Amino acid sequence: MSSFRSDESPSASPVRPVPLASPAAAAGPAHVTEPAVYDGILLAGFGGPEGQDDVIPFLRNVTRGRGIPDERLEDVAHHYRHFGGVSPINAQNRALRAALGDELARRGIHLPVYWGNRNWAPYLEEAVTAAAADGNRRLLAVATSAYSSFSSCRQYREDFARVVETAGLSDAVTIDKVRPFFDHPGFVAPLAAGVIDAVGAMLAGGVPAARIRVLFSTHSIPLADAQRSGPRDTDWGEGGAYAAQHRAVAGVIMSDLIAAHPAATQTGWDLVYQSRSGPAEQPWLEPDVCDVIERLPDAGIEAVVIVPVGFVSDHMEVMWDLDTEAIAAAAEAGLRAVRTPTAGVDPAYVSGLVDLIVERIEGTPAADRPHRTPLGPWFDVCRPGCCENVRAGFRPAAAGLAP
């Protein structure tokens, strides 16, 4: 696999202006090294229902444009109904918004944090129009997703462009976005600490290192979407940049584990996937976490550590697909199992997000930006052709070069 770290795309296409960008980002450098002035932070979330009556309308929003009938949506709705129809994600984002505000203030950065979701109230439309009404029109977005793919990066950027356009603010509002932060130390540290603690407890409990397996779990996406993740002029290997980023982070965490517990050199790991929701005939990233767990006893494994490496908080897909289904699969297989924490509002994570904000305010050179894998630091301005939506193609998007 090859990668590039230049501040310009190696593509032969000329650099084109970036829609809705600040002056510092408008020309489209991969890493913006010119200081920028912002007057607000836009925390962009996925959103979730907050009661039984919200569940189906929320799922309609998530699947809009795909023509999925309500009867099929009920197949997923029962996950939410099991928890009273309430997703924890909005409460988690309220807590994250407050934590970001506190950390910004602690550092003497006086910027308001506006919060909006893609799929449920408060919507991004509300956040952007509220910021504009307050006179805060130079926004820097922080999306609650660390990796590169259509649903985890470009869809947010398309939503920014759509919201600004439909609100009639195209000539008034700019929205930049912090780089995908999959390998920022602030995101990796809480994940690594959870693995170190979990494996350490198993070792102390008498489980041999070679009989422990670490499963790094992330959201499955259609294989065609995965192959289109990241810049198209780089060969990222099977699963595109999305899978490459997860593999790199998992490798770093295992290195941290071995540094803390040298016996863990005998502990194996896998990148696994969860939460598949597409038709059976459509290829998605595999293997599924529960399928892997089912096979572990035949490989002599006695204990499994499940790491939600693809998620920033304990939202529904962590609570249901891992805490409910994967833990049940481990019990059925006779395995000792533990699910490690997500970043949530861990101080290292919150501080890391503010570090990313400061990078853009100060125009920090790429060479001075912290990153834990050779893939980083990732791009501030997404490259041409990055993370195409297979179903709809390229739509206008902020914070990236067209298309």
- Structural domain contains residue 120: no
pLDDT digits 0-9 by tens, 34-50: 999 999 999 999 999 99
- Strand, coil or helix: 109: coil
The confidence score (pLDDT) of residue 25 equals 97
Q: Where residue 13 falls among pLDDT bands split at 50, 70, 90?
A: very low
pLDDT digits 0-9 by tens, 213-254: 999 999 999 999 999 999 988 999 999 999 999 999 999 999
- Helix pair angle (240-260, 185-204), 10° resolution: 50
CA–CA distances in Å: residue 158 to residues 95, 175, 235, 289, 391: 26, 11, 24, 30, 14
CA 293, 296, 297, 301 dihedral sign is: negative
CATH number at residue 241: 3.40.50.1400
CB-based burial, 65-84: b 16+ in 10 Å, e otherwise = eeebeeeebeebbebbeeee
- Structural domain contains residue 279: yes
Tell whether the model's pLDDT for residue 164 goes beyond 90.
Answer: yes
Cβ pair 379, 30 in contact under 8 A: yes
- Structural domain contains residue 245: yes
- Both tokens of 221, joined, read 């996406």
Give me the phi and psi of 189, to 5 degrees please.
-55, -50
Return d(Cα 216, Cα 196) in angstroms, integer: 13
Q: Which residues contact 367 (CB under 8 A, 6 or more apart)?
A: none
Nearest Cα neighbor of 315 from 284, 350, 352, 344 is 344
Q: What is the mean pLDDT of residues 53-75?
A: 90
- Both tokens of 44, joined, read 């962009």
Q: Where residue 394 falls among pLDDT bands split at 50, 70, 90?
A: very high
- Structural domain contains residue 287: yes
Q: What is the mean pLDDT of the chain?
A: 94
The range of the structural domain enclosing residue 269 comes to: 185-339
The confidence score (pLDDT) of residue 23 equals 96
Q: What is the mean pLDDT of residues 23-38?
A: 97
- Rounded to 5°, angle at Cα 325 from 324 and 326: 100
Cβ pair 313, 96 in contact under 8 A: yes
The confidence score (pLDDT) of residue 5 equals 35
CB-based burial, 289-311: b 16+ in 10 Å, e otherwise = bbebbeebeeeebbbbbbbbbbb
Expressed in angstroms, the distance from the first to the final Cα of the chain is 24
CB-based burial, 131-169: b 16+ in 10 Å, e otherwise = bbeeebbbbbbbbbbbbbbbbbbbbbbbbbbbbbeeeeb
- Structural domain contains residue 35: no
- Structural domain contains residue 5: no
CB atoms within 10 A of CB 279: 8
Tell whether the model's pLDDT for residue 14 goes beyond 90.
Answer: no
- Output the DSSP codes for 228-262: TSS-TTS---TTHHHHHHHHHHHHHHHHHHHHH-G
Cβ pair 20, 161 in contact under 8 A: yes
CB-facing half-sphere around the CA of 353: CA atoms within 13 A: 30
Tell whether the model's pLDDT for residue 91 goes beyond 90.
Answer: yes
- Structural domain contains residue 374: no
Least confident of 77-86, 172-181, 186-195: 77-86
Tell whether the model's pLDDT for residue 12 goes beyond 50.
Answer: no
Determine whether 227 is exposed, middle or buried from the number of CB atoms within 10 Å of its CB (0-12, 13-18, 19+): buried
Rg (the chain; Cα; Å): 21
pLDDT digits 0-9 by tens, 273-318: 999 987 778 999 999 999 999 999 999 999 999 999 999 999 999 9
Say how far residue 85 (Cα) sits from the centre of its chain.
23
Q: Which residues contact 285 (CB under 8 A, 6 or more apart)?
A: 220, 221, 222, 223, 226, 239, 242, 243, 273
* Helix and strand counts by DSSP (H, E) for the chain: 12, 8
Count of the separate structural domains present in the chain: 1
The confidence score (pLDDT) of residue 67 equals 79
CA–CA distances in Å: residue 63 to residues 153, 191, 316: 17, 30, 16
pLDDT digits 0-9 by tens, 271-282: 999 999 877 789
- Structural domain contains residue 320: yes
Q: What is the mean pLDDT of residues 7-21?
A: 58
The confidence score (pLDDT) of residue 65 equals 80
Return d(Cα 18, Cα 30) in angstroms, integer: 11
pLDDT digits 0-9 by tens, 138-152: 999 999 999 999 999
Q: Which amino acid belongs to residue 351?
A: S
- Strand, coil or helix: 105: helix
Q: What is the mean pLDDT of residues 369-374?
A: 98
Nearest Cα neighbor of 111 from 178, 211, 28, 209 is 178
The confidence score (pLDDT) of residue 277 equals 82
The confidence score (pLDDT) of residue 3 equals 35
